[in-house]
Amino acid sequence: QVQLVESGGGLVQPGGSLRLSCAASGFYFSNYAMSWYRQAPGKERELVAGITSVSASTNYADAVKGRFTISRDNAKKTVYLQMNSLKPEDTAVYYCNAFRSFNAVNYWGKGTLVTVSS
């Protein structure tokens, strides 16, 4: 079965750091673009960062540029999101997404909660 399992969320103080992981199984991970989305209470889900399948090119939302870094390890079938200098505005449920444009396949994880508070 296809699975995307996020981990690494939790409570952190402003200015702190967290590293999220998303472990993939049940599909050819190397052929998929991977992304992190987040959804704060009362707000729409938004793209945080993405990384392509072939060149591993990355893109980031303006709100997280310079603070977050997305990376992937195809051998481990895992995508990461390193989050530094966290702000209360970063509080949200973070979701892992896998996408392949060739057949429009789109997979989602169940999310991991990140709370930034003093």
What's the pLDDT tens digit per position in 11-59? Answer: 999 999 999 999 999 999 999 999 999 999 999 999 999 999 989 999 9
User: Which residue, among 4, 6, 39, has the nearest Cα to 20 in the 3D structure?
Assistant: 6
CA 15 to chain centre: 19
Q: Which positions ≥6 away from 62 have C-beta within 8 Å?
A: none
What is d(CA 31, CA 93) in angstroms, rounded to the nearest whole number? 26
Q: What is the pLDDT of residue 54?
A: 87
**Are the beta carbons of 29 and 74 closer than 8 angstroms?**
yes
Q: Which helix (H) or strand (E) holds 98?
A: strand 92-100
User: Which residue, among 34, 48, 59, has the nearest Cα to 92 in the 3D structure?
Assistant: 48
The pLDDT of 81-97, averaged and rounded, is 98
What is d(CA 74, CA 57) in angstroms, rounded to the nearest whole number? 14
Q: What is the pLDDT of residue 101?
A: 87
Query: Checking DSSP bridges between strand 112-116 and strand 10-12, what pairing results, if any?
Result: parallel
pLDDT band at 96 (very low <50, low <70, confident <90, very high): very high
Q: What are 92's strand-pairing partners?
A: 114
